[in-house]
Amino acid sequence: MCRILIFGGTTEGRLLSEYCHQQKKKVWVSVATGYGKMVLPESPYLFVHETPMNEEEMEGFIRRNKITLVFDATHPYAAVVSKNIASSCEKTGTRRIRVIRESLTSVEDLGAGDHVVWVDSVEEAVKYLEEETGNILVTTGSKELVRFTRLDSFEERVYARVLPTVGVISACEEIGIKGKRLIGMQGPFSQELNEAMIRQYDIRYLVTKEAGSAGGFQEKINATEACQIKAVVVGRPVVESGMTLTEAKEFLSEYEAEEEEEDDKKSPSEAFGIRNVSLIGIGMGGPEQMTGQAVKALKESQVVFGAERMLKSIGDLIPGVNLIPWYLSHDILPWLNEHKEYKKIAILYSGDTGFYSGAKKMIEAFQTETKENQYEIEVLPGISSVSYLCARLSTGWEDARLISLHGRDGDVARELLKFHKVFALLDGTNTVNQVCGRLIEEGFGHVSLSVGERLSYPDERITTGTPETLKDGSFDVLSAIWIER
């Protein structure tokens, strides 16, 4: 089972995750960026959550996934994140282990200390540099880089070494650090490479944080000494207690070995049990279009599938839940078979699950699964576009003909010959203008026609007229129409 969570994004987090991969031990790994995920090995034993979480989201994630052990392997300077992790673990009664980075602050470690200037914060480093001249290489990361733009002629003096991601590079360029003064590279770096950069850019001051051996700190200090320049070092904000990386690996090995022994005694179906799948109709828009039962099922889910626009509409409702933008069975089922630790699954559908919905095919796909992969399917309907539009028009639809021209062939005029009321879903081919033209051709130019656009959204629009008055109008391609004669 997957009951261990590593908060990573650091060298320690990566190495601890790699250890779990090597030992075939299942763990969750939480990273704040796509880059943090990219440096992790592709592994069936690592389940990655790649978006940052606040304290509330951490707490919800721990509860939903029944986490029993958390490793905080975040950066030594990520004090707020560590505080949130500690608080969420305390609230959930979950054991937390801080993975600490060994400090290198002794005189022996730093060599001759004349070339090292110690400061308490980045702000203090900037104040020190305001009184100095010469080029500066900043290696403290991109988040606090804007502080260095206070320096006179920073566009000419400041060189920044940052992670080579599009978001980071763009953020640096926005504050005025760009071109050859922006060095996108992933560390840690050797002493020789540090020396080469110092000489290449005629650096007089290298700004770094005391981040221990894993951050390449010693190599920076040695390079500044060899090049006879100053190292401006931001000291650690707090003195932490916890386990070293080696100690964390030893603890993890013993801790998970007990869990695996219990799981080994069970058959696959016993170990993972019946898995609950909720097929949820979310109506036309956001959470307000869903039933209370559907909202409850979503909040209990561990993973949610659906079209990207649907996932965005309900994302705030379920912070911390794994959201995957797939909606076809040939994508979803293989993924679920590889990730059997997910027991609470939700798949989203627009409108109602019983009205021209993909839910029917999904049910059939799950029913073909083998006995080993046991699924319990629950269908939770949403508010359909026909019931919503008719409610807005203050009319009933029990005697209407309901059709969909969304990706289908059909003839509204032919249906109107048989029925007094017709509701239809349209698309980019079967548009309002095309339907109006067809109705006029068949002598229905003066029937009542209502067009619903962006139903339930803030910019919803419902227009009522006749095919003659609406034939030249501009309407959304995914409109719904209601016709009465």
125 and 81, same domain (yes or no): no
37 and 116, same domain (yes or no): no
222 and 283, same domain (yes or no): no
275 and 393, same domain (yes or no): no
Q: What is the CATH number of the domain that holds 366?
A: 3.40.1010.10
Element at 144 (helix H, strand E): none
pLDDT of residue 237: 54
pLDDT of residue 32: 81
* pTM attached to this predicted model: 0.48
Domain end, chosen from 316, 348, 380, is at 380
Q: Which stretches of the chain drop beneath a pLDDT of 50?
A: 105-112, 257-272
9 and 94, same domain (yes or no): yes
Task: Give the tokens for residue 19.
Answer: 């250890």
Q: What is the CATH number of the domain that holds 190?
A: 3.40.50
pLDDT of residue 112: 43
Task: Give Rg (Cα) of the chain.
Answer: 30
With contact defined as beta carbons under 8 Å apart, do 92 and 59 qualify?
yes
Cα(156)–Cα(149) distance, rounded to whole angstroms?
11
Read off φ and ψ for residue 374, nearest 5 degrees: -85, 125
Domain end, chosen from 352, 380, 408, is at 380
pLDDT tens readout for residues 424-439: 999 888 999 999 999 9
279 and 340, same domain (yes or no): yes
Domain end, chosen from 380, 406, 425, is at 380
Could you tell me if residue 320 is left (phi over 0), alpha (psi between -120 and 50 degrees) or otherwise beta?
left
89 and 14, same domain (yes or no): yes
Q: What is the CATH number of the domain that holds 246?
A: 3.40.50.720
What's the domain count of the chain?
A: 4
With contact defined as beta carbons under 8 Å apart, do 31 and 8 qualify?
yes
pLDDT of residue 279: 95
pLDDT of residue 211: 65
291 and 405, same domain (yes or no): no
Q: CA dist 262 to 20, 32, 311, 339, Å?
A: 18, 32, 36, 19
Task: Give the tokens for residue 382.
Answer: 């949403």
- Average pLDDT across the chain, whole number: 86
Triad 122, 124, 127: Cα angle to 5°:
115
Q: What is the domain range of residue 171?
A: 107-234
Task: Give the tokens for residue 409.
Answer: 């062939």
According to DSSP, the residues that pair with 275 across neighbouring strands are 375
pLDDT of residue 36: 76
